Structure 1
Amino acid sequence: MSITVDTVSYTAGNTLIVNGVSLSVEKGRVLGLLGPNGSGKSSLLRLICRLRKVQSGVITLGENDVASISRAELARRVAFVEQQSNTDTQLTVLDVVKLGRTPHRGLWANWTADDEFAVEEALLRVDMLERAEQFWQTLSGGERQRVHIARALAQTPSELLLDEPTNHLDIQHQLEILSLVSKLGITSIVALHDLNLAAMFCDSLAVLQKGEVVAAGTPEDVLTEDLIGRVFGVRAHIQKSPVHGRCNIQYLMR
């Protein structure tokens, strides 16, 4: 497995946020992390990339306990894309993506051909190379998110974590972002709210409720009418989509 979470718990103050969570992601696959607001999705992602400290349990990347990996190595290995990142500094798209090379360079290191290749390749993969000299502030929300992903890809990570990457985007950009992530071939965990998008683009799903995993497996196994009612509090009808072949969820009025 590329990422394994084994009975991990995390408490903030007196509140148990993540409670004995276990899950795993195979190399090159995409895991969708689902759950209501406050279920622990964002906290779990931060535990995996060590922005939060695990209080019990073990997280491994490949064969290595994440707690034993140096900060420098972890920064080179794991890329984290948050919901939104803003800056008042006048930066171009190229400037933002170049920041992804920081973990690979010493304090006074010269820019290398490897750096140049990684940045150009990242911009190509998100279809933003022609916008490289455009200022960040002039981009749409969807374009900014693609640049964030390009910055992450410039790190040349082996694991990619994304926290609600489609939040506040219109449907076109939601589809574009998740289609892009699903084709990267990088081990990825994506926290999502939209169950239909998760079913379309994720290889497997894990559902959190009150900090615990209540279901995990393929989209077809996880997204049942019973689970959606219990966890999300809504009635649903599920059928196989004739378009993409994955399960499609229709929400019903009570």
Structure 2
Amino acid sequence: MSIAVENVSFSAGSRLVVDGVTLTVPKGKVLGLLGPNGSGKSSLLRLICRLRRAESGVIRLGDDDIASIPRAALSRRVAFVEQQATTDTQLTVRDVVRLGRTPHRGLLSSWTAEDEAAVCQALDRVDMRERTGQLWQTLSGGERQRVHIARALAQAPAELLLDEPTNHLDIQHQLDILSLVSRLGITSIIALHDLNLAAMFCDQLAVLREGRIVAAGPPDAVLTEDLLKEVFRVQAKVEASPHHGRPHIHYLG
């Protein structure tokens, strides 16, 4: 397995936010992390990239316990795209994406052709090459999100974690970004709210409720009408899509 979470727990103050979570993501596959607001999705992603430390349990990347991986090595290996990221520094789009190369370069390293190619390719992948010289602060929310995804891609990670990456994106770019991630061949975990998008683009799904995994497996096994009613409190009909064969949810109210 490329990512393995084994009985991991984490508390914020007196509240247990992640409660004994166990999940695995095979190498090169995409896992969609689902659940209502406050279910622990963002906290779990931060635990996996060691922005927070688990109180118990083990998180492995391949055969390595993340607690034993040096910070510099972890930064080269794992890319994390947060829901919102901002800065007061005057940076161009290219400057932001160049930051993705930082883990691969020493303090005195010169900018290389490999670095430049990684940045250009990442900008092309998110359709932002023509905005290279534009100030990041002048972009729309959706455009900023695409730039941050480009930064992550320029990092050339082995594992990619994305927290609600389609927030603020129009439907075309939602589809483009998730289609891109699904084709990268990078082990990825994507926290999503849109269950139909998760079913379309993720190989496996895991559903969190109050910090616990309540269902995990392929989309057609996880997205059942009973689960939607119990966890998300919605009445819905689930059918195989005639377009892609995966589950499609019709909300009934």
SS in 1 for 2:97: helix
Partner of 1:148: 148
Structure 2, unmatched stretches of 5+, are none
Worse overlay, 242-251 or 201-210: 242-251
Count of aligned pairs between the two proteins: 253
Superposed CA deviations along residues 122-165 of structure 1, whole A, max 9, x for unmatched, are 22222222321222223233222221111001111000000011
Partner of 2:37: helix, strand, or coil?
coil
Structure 2 counterpart of 1:23, one-letter code: L
Q: Match of 1:82, as an amino acid?
A: E
Q: Distance in 2 between matches of 1:246 and 1:153?
A: 27
Secondary structure of the residue aligned to 2:51 is: coil
2:246 corresponds to: 246
Cα distance in 2, alignment partners of residues 85 and 179 from structure 1: 23
Structure 1 residues 58-67 or 127-136, which shifts more? 127-136
Q: Distance in 1 between matches of 2:223 and 2:47?
A: 25
Deviation at 1:68, TM superposition (A): 0.3
Deviation of 1:194 after TM superposition, in Å, equals: 0.8
**Counterpart amino acid of residue 190 in structure 1:** I
Q: TM-score, normalised by structure 1?
A: 0.96
Question: Which region of structure 1 is more displaced relative to structure 2, 79-88 or 18-27?
Answer: 79-88
Q: Paired residue for 1:134?
A: 134
More divergent stretch after superposition (169-178 vs 220-229): 169-178
C-alpha separation in 1, matches of 2:181 and 2:141 = 17
The equivalent of 2:71 in structure 1 is 71
- Per the alignment, residue 176 of structure 1 pairs with 176
**1:16 aligned partner:** 16
Q: Give per-residue Cα distances to partners, 1:31-84, cap 9 Å, x unaligned.
A: 000000110000000000000101111000011001000000000000000012
Identity %: 74
Q: Give the deviation of 1:179 after TM superposition.
A: 1.5
Match of 2:23, SS state, is: strand
Equivalent pair of 2:142/2:167 in contact (CA under 8 Å): no
Letter in 2 for 1:144: R
* Root mean square deviation of aligned Cα: 1.2
Letter in 1 for 2:182: S
Mapped to 1, the partners of 2:151 and 2:61 lie a distance apart of: 21
In 2, Cα distance between equivalents of 1:108 and 1:28: 33
CA distance in 2 between counterparts of 1:219 and 1:173 reads 22
Q: What is the alpha-carbon distance in structure 2 between the residues aligned to residue 163 and residue 13 of structure 1?
A: 22
Query: Does 1:57 find its partner at 2:57?
Result: yes
> Counterpart of 2:134 in 1: which secondary structure?
coil
Moved more, 153-162 or 169-178: 169-178
Which 5+ residue runs of structure 1 have no aligned equivalent? Answer: none
Whether 2:113 is the aligned partner of 1:113: answer yes
What is the correspondence of 1:222-233 to structure 2 with a 5 Å cutoff?
222-233=222-233
Q: In structure 2, how many angstroms separate the alpha carbons of the residues matched to 1:127 and 1:173?
A: 9
Give the Cα–Cα distance (whole angstroms) in 1 for the partners of residues 185 and 71 of structure 2.
24
What is the SS of the residue equivalent to 1:168? coil
* Inter-partner Cα distance in structure 1 for 2:179 and 2:116: 25
**1:31 is the counterpart of 2:31:** yes
Measure how far apart 1:178 and its partner are.
Answer: 1.3
Instruction: Give the structure 1 partner of residue 185 of structure 2.
Output: 185
Letter in 2 for 1:75: S
Post-superposition offset of 1:92: 1.3
1:125 is aligned to 2:135: no
In 2, Cα distance between the equivalents of 1:195 and 1:117? Answer: 35
Q: Deviations over 1:195-229 (max 9, x none)?
A: 11100111110000010000000000000000111
The two structures have a TM-score, normalised by structure 2, of 0.96
